[in-house]
Amino acid sequence: MQITDLGTQGEEVIQQVASLLVESFKEHWPEAWPDMESALREVRESLQEERISRVAVGAAGTVLGWIGAIKEYNGNVWELHPLVVRHDCRRQGIGRALVSDLEDCVRQRGGLTLWVGTDDEDGMTTLAGVCLYPNVWEHVAQISNLRGHPYEFYQKCGFVIVGVMPDANGLGKPDIYMAKRVGGRND
């Protein structure tokens, strides 16, 4: 496997990445990229100068995964957006390798923090399907993964929950905000 800038790859790889987005998000986040047109738009937007777009490619030129980041707060903070790994390649270290590579890219650009929003739109955690008000942090402290929500993957990569936006995607459908320091000193 090789991780490289998506912008150095050809149209075939871009098409594979877009297809991967549609396929991988349709079960739990069907509104994210419901078709190739929206996925291609997202992939092409990731190639802008102020963004980072990295792709993991296998020996045969097959896309195994893709990760991107968006510069925020004058480059001190970057949003990880999105991360996707082919279904048949998950749990093989590809996602972790992409996150680690992205952290290096953010650090090289002077970034201090990497954050990600990880929605729960269909009851994958105990934060979904309930009213989180008025004691949001009590709910966060008791969070449990019910059906393979990716927040635990991000925790294994060193991210911590730094906030929750209740009802971000409708009643009982929160967005879970996670972040980690990737640059600077930790005094």
**pLDDT by residue (tens digit) across 81-133?**
999 999 999 999 999 999 999 999 999 999 999 999 999 999 999 999 999 99
What is the mean pLDDT of the segment spanning 30-40? Answer: 90
The CATH number, out of the four listed (3.20.20.150, 3.30.465.10, 3.40.630.30, 3.30.565.10), of the domain defined by the range 1-111: 3.40.630.30
Report pLDDT for 30: 79
Residue 186 pLDDT exceeds 70: no
Domain extents in the chain:
1-111, 112-187
Residue 39 has pLDDT above 90, yes or no: yes
What is the C-alpha to C-alpha distance for residues 43 and 46, in angstroms, rounded to an integer? 5
Q: Which helix (H) or strand (E) holds 164?
A: strand 160-165
184 pLDDT tier (thresholds 50, 70, 90): confident
Distance of CA 79 to the CA centre of its chain: 8
What's the rounded Cα separation, in Å, for the pair 167 and 177? Answer: 13
Let me know how long the chain is: 187
| pTM to 2 decimal places | 0.93
> d(Cα 38, Cα 21) in Å, to the nearest integer?
10
The amino acid at residue 147 is R
Fold match flag (1-111 vs 112-187): yes
Fold of 112-187: Aminopeptidase (3.40.630)
